[in-house]
A and B are shown apart, each in its own frame.
Chain A
Amino acid sequence: GAGVSQSPSNKVTEKGKDVELRCDPISGHTALYWYRQSLGQGLEFLIYFQGNSAPDKSGLPSDRFSAERTGGSVSTLTIQRTQQEDSAVYLCASRLDGSLFGGELFFGEGSRLTVL
């Protein structure tokens, strides 16, 4: 596609429910990142996919968070048993080739999650 597409743009859920956030990267981009943006906290790295390599999950805050990337393209971030502190904007970004150091990340517009 023309840009990184994320859905839903807004999600309101109740505490304890599971949510899935979707990211469709730019076609041909091999690297895909998830970040969490909380008020005043900047962008918190969550997880990174590069081609067929094992993802770097070092930023996932707890085992309630997981992500997968199917066919090297679309990615889904799943949050189980949501908590109020999970409320944030979840940003997805892709890059043409993760091995190109200094390569630009292209960001989607984010999925705003509100946990009541």
Chain B
Amino acid sequence: AQSVTQLGSHVSVSEGALVLLRCNYSSSVPPYLFWYVQYPNQGLQLLLKYTTGATLVKGINGFEAEFKKSETSFHLTKPSAHMSDAAEYFCAVSGNNNNDMRFGAGTRLTVKP
């Protein structure tokens, strides 16, 4: 079975500062890893995903994440926060069971002017 832990239910950064949202996973099989974003009153949309290949993946809106197998991590980063990045971010993991998409509890990102 797969599971995800997101460290920090709330993260607050200043506009222009580095964004770092942490995600650790547990999986008994090679994982597929995802970050989704949920803007206020909207559904979830995919930011980026890792399946195979390059461990540093780039997504929309300047976000990227690095798969580190030794640390079982898939942290999300963005060099410079923008006000429009304020949202809730969910990390998810899927294994070789195609219905086993498990989500973390989410991290709410606040961006201060």
Contact = CB atoms under 8 A, between A and B. Distances in A.
Interface stretch (B12-20, B44-52, B63-71, B73-81): B44-52
Contacts, number: 59
Given A40-B105, A42-B104, A43-B90, A91 B98 contact: no
A111 B94 CA distance: 24
Interface residues of B, number: 26
B46 A4 contact: no
A65 interface: no
Contact of B43 (A41, A45, A98, A110): A110
B111 interface: no
Interface residues of A, number: 25
A4 B41 CA distance: 15
A43 B96 contact: no
9 contacts: A33-B101, A45-B102, A98-B99, A101-B94, A102-B51, A102-B94, A105-B44, A109-B42, A110-B43
Interface of B: 4, 6, 9, 32, 34, 36, 41-46, 49, 51, 90, 92, 94, 96, 98-99, 101-106
Interface of A: 4, 31, 33, 35, 40-43, 45, 48, 50, 56, 91, 93, 98-102, 104-105, 107-110
